[in-house]
Structure 1
């Protein structure tokens, strides 16, 4: 999740610059672009919960991870504000799928300690903020504000490959349809 989320800080710092300098979009459109993904996530979270019940957690999580790879890769080549807004809607799939499934996985792996599991899971945002700040500093300085998004795209690709490996090695742990893992009592 740290790798998947590390581009979010770069997104907040560089998206207004990309919109203004590269896409020549009006400044008012920046607020809409930044708000679009969170608004769409609210609608998509229940849909992702339904999809996880139907196709399994791993599938939904990986779909969200693939959406993040496509998003950051798309930011490198986007040429119009309309394309950017479509990318923002697609990026909502990442947030809706990974957060919903990630919290559920954390709670199932720490049965009986759901609050602690959720706190540990959500702390990835703090680590991602630190990592994302470093990524943004280095990639923007060397590649520029738009092409610099190749770095988070690559990080997301590594995270997607790692998640795919974990989910294929342990499919039973990532499928909501199988029920919670059994707790062994001493």
Structure 2
């Protein structure tokens, strides 16, 4: 547990490096932007992630409407669609583990992008209700590995060509994904209203395929080989225990992130239906409400890095998860356009924190296998979708709209409690070992 908040104290920590690159040092921030613009890999990754966010966010608010209107499914069935995302963490782990063994980050990225194209194209052409379920479970599970391989490739490049603005580069590239989510919901709503839901899903498939273009045939450099060591005989059970112990901080952080994110599938499945069928809002207003969240997120990401330096990363995440509680209460109780905007602005605060620092923290928590760490963390959104979608599908049948949004409010409250307990436990651990640690650091600084 102490590993987490030590990140806020030790030199080279996430707060120190990211804040130095983004919030407190304009020269470093400019350097990060120059690095992104000058490097074919960073520049291509930025464009690719923008396209990924554009396509995903266009489809996310409309998939429930497609299942109910085009294929005749019920609201409960539409919510259960997100159970198909249970395969994504497994697929992501397999892709990440292979990537760490072979180092072929961009080759696997291309395979995952093609899987995304085939999956969304297949859903767009579906004629039976079962078809999107099977396609999502089998094909789109692997598509989610594309973004994690991009971040692993960036990590490898920064390992070969280190820079003080390295974490700033990661933040800039990550912001491109958020930028895609700003444009996508409005574009998807307008495209669906004008050309139909199938055309919108076909456009999502095209966005997945177009990710291949900006990265072309680039290859990331191989990381320096570790020094050779004499072979050691390790028992398989001991190796497994060591591996699980090493991954424990990452898994704990990811599990709490799952509870934070679980409200997103409920929101994207039922908020558009609520706005159109109950509140009778126009498609433009619907798209604006959905799109305000990533806009706020994009603005707040640099501010979140600065705030994490001042109050601590874990404490900031407690506050952000609290915003998630308040946002879902707004959805459940206000019943007005201003109330929905307020909820989405609060959700922008949630993701302004987690989007800015989440992927960097995941890689720092498992530095020996960054592709696996990236895949586990990023595929957790799919696991959250399964949890939220199934809970939402059952909840909407039990309590209806808009009270179904009290379910994600409860999930976010669980995350608040969990993150608070992590923070308190870590600070107690630091206090008990503070004397010897302080002496050791003072000696290091003196030399």
What is the TM-score normalised by the length of structure 1?
A: 0.85
Moved more, 21-30 or 158-167: 21-30
Query: What residue number does 2:295 align with?
Result: 39
Work out the number of aligned pairs and report it.
174
User: What is the match of residue 334 of structure 2?
Assistant: 78
Runs (4+) of structure 1 exceeding 4 A deviation are none
Deviation at 1:172?
A: 8.6
Structure with more contact order per residue of length (Cα contacts < 8 Å, sep ≥ 6): 1
Please show how residues 90-109 of structure 1 align to structure 2 within 5 Å.
90-109=346-365
Aligned counterpart in structure 2 of residue 26 of structure 1, from 262, 282, 285: 282
| Paired residues of 2:330 and 2:342 also in contact (CA < 8 A) | no
User: Could you say if the C-alpha distance between residues 144 and 125 of structure 1 is closer, same or farther in structure 2, counting changes exceeding 3 Å?
Assistant: same
| 1:138 aligned partner | 394
Q: Deviations over 1:134-160 (max 9, x none)?
A: 011111111112001111111111121
- Find the counterpart in structure 2 of residue 111 from structure 1: 367
C-alpha contact 1:22 1:79 (8 A) present in aligned 2? no
Corresponding residue of 2:243: none
Write the distance in 1 (CA, Å) between the matches of 2:361 and 2:260.
16
What is the TM-score with the length of structure 2 in the denominator?
0.37
Tell whether the 8 Å contact from 1:4 to 1:65 is kept in structure 2 after alignment: yes
**2:315 counterpart of 1:59:** yes
RMSD over aligned CA atoms reads: 2.0
Shift of 1:112: 4.5
CA distance in 2, matches of 1:114, 1:100: 17
Q: Distance in 2 between matches of 1:39 and 1:154?
A: 25
Shift of 1:33: 0.9
The question of 1:13 aligning with 2:284 is answered no
1:120 maps to which of 370, 376, 390:
376
Aligned position for 1:2: 258
TM-fit CA distance, 1:114 = 3.6
Q: Any stretches of 5+ residues in structure 2 without a counterpart?
A: 1-256, 430-447
Q: State the distance in 1 between where 2:324 and 2:408 align.
A: 9
1:123 counterpart SS class: helix
Asked whether the equivalents of residues 73 and 150 of structure 1 are also in contact (C-alpha less than 8 Å), the reply is: yes
Deviations 1:53-106, CA, capped at 9 Å, x for gaps: 122101211111011011112211112101211221111011111232322322
The structure that has the greater radius of gyration is 2
Shift of 1:16: 1.3
